[in-house]
């Protein structure tokens, strides 16, 4: 029954778990060069954050992963993240997905799942 099958097209287009990990790594290279947001990640455990993001993205793309990190509200409360910061991070993700040849349509499958999180992440 096709209706009960999970759509793994996007997960595969990202290169499965290893591809997602690389996309998150490359996204962080862009983030750490972006003067709008790099200071947020100056004193954080970025290896841990990257690991959590990899699991989270894999989970959202229906991959065989389970996100076990902190919920988005608790992990960002008090950081004073504004819309401009959120947009900058999404831009970094887009750049990384482009660099890793994820087709635009597949990029959007992840971005539609991230977009609603702004309610829990943006405080200003
Ligand atoms: C859709 C957008 C975002 C997603 C999916 C996301 C996801 C995550 C995840 C999974 C964690 C780790 C949670 C844990 O501790 O288990 C985290 C932590 C963090 N995020 Fe985000 N995030 C987003 C946007 C942002 C933005 C825009 C900023 C700032 C520019 C930001 C700054 C941080 C910081 C500084 C931490 C570490 C907090 C700490 O060390 O306690 N995040 N994020």
Instruction: Give domain limits for the chain.
Output: 6-121
The predicted structure's pLDDT at residue 3: 57
Complex ipTM > 0.85: yes
CATH architecture, domain defined by 6-121: Orthogonal Bundle (1.10)
Please provide the distance, in angstroms rounded to a whole number, between the alpha carbons at the two ends of the chain: 46
The predicted structure's pLDDT at residue 5: 75
CA nearest to 87, candidates 33, 10, 34, 48: 34
The predicted structure's pLDDT at residue 58: 98
Residues flanking ligand 1, CB < 6 Å: 37, 40-41, 44, 49, 52-53, 56, 69-70, 75-76, 79, 81, 85-86, 89, 114, 117, 121
Please list the pLDDT of the chain residue by residue as tens digits (124 residues). 555 678 999 999 999 999 999 999 999 999 999 999 999 999 999 999 999 999 999 999 999 999 999 999 999 999 999 999 999 999 999 999 999 999 999 999 999 999 999 999 999 7
């Amino acid at each position: 029954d096709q209706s009960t099958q999970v759509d793994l097209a996007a997960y595969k287009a990202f290169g499965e778990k290893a591809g997602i990990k690389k996309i998150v790594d490359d996204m962080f290279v862009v983030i750490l060069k972006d003067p709008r947001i790099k200071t947020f990640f100056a004193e954080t455990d970025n290896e841990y954050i990257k690991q959590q993001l990899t699991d989270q993205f894999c989970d959202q793309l229906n991959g065989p992963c389970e996100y076990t990190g902190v919920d988005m509200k608790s992990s960002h409360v008090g950081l004073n993240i504004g819309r401009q910061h959120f947009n900058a991070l999404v831009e970094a993700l887009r750049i990384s997905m482009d660099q890793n040849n994820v087709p635009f349509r597949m990029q959007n499958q992840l971005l539609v799942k991230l977009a609603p999180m702004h309610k829990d992440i943006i405080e200003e």
